[in-house]
Amino acid sequence: MKLEQKIEKKIERTLSKVKLFKKKTILVALSGGKDSATTAYMFRKLGYKIEGFHIDLGMGDYSKRCLSAVVKLCEILEIPLYIYDIKNEMGSSMCYLRTSIQKKHFEKQRGEIKNCAICGVIKKWILNKRARELGFEIIATGHNLDDEAQTFLMNVLKGAPELSANTGVVTKNILNKKFIPRVKPLFYIDEDEIRKFTLEKKLPVVYEGCPCLIDSYRKQVREWIYKNLTTRDKENLIKNFEKLQSRMKSIKSSELVYCEICGEPSRGGVCKKCKLFT
Ligand code: AMP
Ligand code: ZN
């Protein structure tokens, strides 16, 4: 079977489990990378209505290349694109935000806080808020099998596997009207296959990794997985974890409340984004 067909079949199977409606327009979070480009390409091919969403993180040339790749992709796929500039959203570029947050955490002796953790929290916060304001009821991201295996292993190694309790192809919270559900169509697809696919299709994609992924724990786990685990191992890891998930859910409450500071969905009194800034 051709790679494109193989990926398409896997995505169809994944989406059939989550009953995604073709009538509803999906907002695809596009980073400029191969995963979100594949997500958008395949949604279009499968007849879903989609629109693109990109946050310009203001990280020099790298961000400029990402923005240009996203603009080209949306032209090819003939879909509208919403672009948000982090400087308008949060007051400064991601590099500056990270440095000031890390400095403050260090001064207050709150321990180390990694680049990717800060960036991930801020991106999710903007994405959820803006998608809701734009009237979307579902968001899609490009997370793949390797991302999911990494996150799961990192949580296990941290001694907190329950942090993965609410992850899956769909993340939703029916009790919280402000939380826009997210779907990950590439949940079971190996990163190498996605890379080969976008190269084969010559999709406009930035292949270099984020310049801020230095010395991160995720990077170490990612390299270990790449060197030591086969696709089958990664699939088994995720599938075995899914078997345990229903039991974990009873341990960790999935109830979301609203942040006391910004009013966005939160697991505690103050959301993760606002905690970074206090
Ligand atoms: P990452 O957090 O870089 O691992 O990216 C995970 C997913 O989040 C990507 O596949 C995209 O769907 C989304 N994403 C990451 N960065 C951006 C961005 N700058 N703008 C919009 N979506 C993004
Ligand atoms: Zn908040």
Q: pLDDT digit string (tens) for 196-210?
A: 999 999 999 999 988
pLDDT of 216 strictly over 80: no
pLDDT of 165 strictly over 70: yes
| Residue owning the nearest CA to atom 16 of ligand 1 | 31
Residues in Cβ contact with 215 at an 8 Å cutoff, skipping those fewer than 6 apart: none
Please compute the mean of the pLDDT values over residues 160-169 and round it to a whole number.
82
Q: Is the CB of 57 under 6 A from ligand 1?
A: yes
Place of tokens 């919270």: 173
Atom number of ligand 1 nearest to Cα 28:
12
Number of C-beta neighbours around residue 209 at 10 A: 12
- Residue 172 CA to ligand 2 center (angstroms) comes to 18
Q: Is the CB of 35 under 6 A from ligand 1?
A: yes
* Proportion of the chain above pLDDT 90, given as a percent: 65
- pLDDT category at 215 given cuts 50, 70, 90 is low
Mean pLDDT (the chain) is: 90
CA atoms within 13 A on the CB side of 87: 5
Of 152 and 256, more confident: 152
pLDDT tens string 137-153: 999 999 999 999 998 88
Pocket perturbation via mutation, ligand 1, pick of 141, 146, 154, 210 by most ligand atoms within 8 A of CB: 141
- Residue 258 CA to ligand 2 center (angstroms) comes to 8
pLDDT of 161 strictly over 70: yes
What's the pLDDT score for residue 33? Answer: 98
State the Cα–Cα distance between residues 241 and 239, nearest whole angstrom. Answer: 5
- Domain residue extents for the chain: 3-252
- pLDDT category at 1 given cuts 50, 70, 90 is confident
| Residue owning the nearest CA to atom 9 of ligand 1 | 142
What's the pLDDT score for residue 250? Answer: 52
DSSP codes, 138-195: -EE----HHHHHHHHHHHHHTT-GGGGTT-SSEE--TT-TTPPPEE-TTTT--HHHHH
What's the pLDDT score for residue 255? Answer: 67
State the Cα–Cα distance between residues 183 and 142, nearest whole angstrom. Answer: 9
State the Cα–Cα distance between residues 211 and 247, nearest whole angstrom. Answer: 38
pLDDT tens string 82-123: 999 999 999 999 989 999 999 888 888 777 888 888 999 999
* Proportion of the chain above pLDDT 70, given as a percent: 96
From residue 206, give the alpha-carbon distance in Å to each of 68, 101, 123.
Answer: 9, 27, 18
| CA of 34, nearest ligand number | 1
State the Cα–Cα distance between residues 220 and 226, nearest whole angstrom. Answer: 10
As a CATH number, domain 3-252 is 3.40.50.620
